[in-house]
Amino acid sequence: MKREELFNLMVEKKSFLCVGLDSDISKLPKHLMDCEDPVFEFNKQIIDATIDFAVAYKPNLAFYESRGAKGWQSLEKIIEYLNKTGGKIFTIADAKRGDIGNTSKLYAKSFFGNKDTSLNYDAVTVAPYMGEDSVTPFLEYKNKWVILLALTSNKGAEDFQMLESGGKKIFAHVLERSKQWGNADNMMYVVGATQADMLADIRKIVPDHFLLVPGIGAQGGSLEEAAKYGLNDQFGLIVNASRSILFASGEKDFALKAKDEAWKIQKEMKKLMKL
């Protein structure tokens, strides 16, 4: 998906919400467990219930690969289902991959599509530790996106991302170097909402790039704070909520409750977008 299409999608839906498909099988409503593929059925119903309010969906790979080949099969069905919506959805593989060049090339192939798999996302999250040649293979695909980890929402973000080198934090080095590898049309950054006050500093380094902001809801981040420091004239934000939507109810009404929760967030976003 092109940047302009993503922008138009946001205007159309008055939303910059991403629904994180962290479909923990131990938390799925019990009545679904009799389905042939409970994980697919759960995600399908979540997608149907929230698609009017969300511009993006982000399956977290760990929740699928922890079930091995079976999990990957569920995931392929979910992406096929999402892609059937006809390009109206931005899809993110939350995979946090990254390896030496020839290996990253294969990870890019894994997530951006090839004849062997029906996984065909718009974007993939990538870890920066291994540097330029671990990232650039993902940038060779037209209209596809790298979403590079910059400042994450977890406690461990303090350990290395916040170390200072030459007067700048490591995450700032990641932003500054990596923005030379791609541009605002093929790169975004992960910036945790629990670090919202740092968004202002980050916006100085990458004023035009989209930021993917996890950590709203269950992780305790504030949507208003993220919007205050993160929105730019192209919106420039994709804010993710996972557990607060997916598991708003653990009963038969789970999809209805997920819809209510997504709708509530979308209404807040509409205000913040001044649409």
* Residues tagged active-site: 96
Residue 5 in the binding site for a copy of itself (CB under 8 A): no
E strand or H helix at 213? strand 210-213
Buried/exposed 231-241: b ≥16 CB within 10 Å, e otherwise: beeebbbbbbb
Pick the closer one to a copy of itself by CB: 106 or 200. 106
88: its two tokens? 């109206």
Q: Which amino acid is at 63?
A: F
92: its two tokens? 């993110």
Separation between Cα atoms, residue 16 and residue 54, nearest integer Å: 7
In the list 48, 80, 85, 114, the residue contacting a copy of itself (rule: CB under 8 A) is 114
State the binding string over 200-219 for a copy of itself (x if CB under 8 A, else -): -------------------x
In the list 29, 38, 59, 128, the residue contacting a copy of itself (rule: CB under 8 A) is 128
Radius of gyration of the CA atoms of the chain, in A? 18
Residue 68 in the binding site for a copy of itself (CB under 8 A): yes
By CB under 8 A, the residues from 228 to 267 that bind a copy of itself are none
Instruction: Give the binding range for a copy of itself (CB under 8 A) out of 30-38, 41-49, 173-181, 203-211.
Output: 173-181
Residue 174 in the binding site for a copy of itself (CB under 8 A): yes
State the binding string over 75-94 for a copy of itself (x if CB under 8 A, else -): -x-----------------x
Helix 223-230 vs helix 254-273: crossing angle, to nearest 10: 30
Determine the 3-state secondary structure of 122 from DSSP: coil
Residues across the chain: 275
Residues whose CB falls within 8 Å of the CB of residue 205, separated by 6 or more in sequence, listed in order:
172, 175, 176, 179
In the list 5, 14, 73, 141, the residue contacting a copy of itself (rule: CB under 8 A) is 73
Q: What angle do CA 161, 138, 234 make, to 5 degrees?
A: 70
Q: Which residues bind a copy of itself (CB under 8 A)?
A: 22, 24, 60, 62-63, 65-73, 76, 94, 96-101, 103-104, 106-107, 109-110, 114, 116-119, 127-135, 149, 152-161, 163-166, 170, 173-174, 177, 219
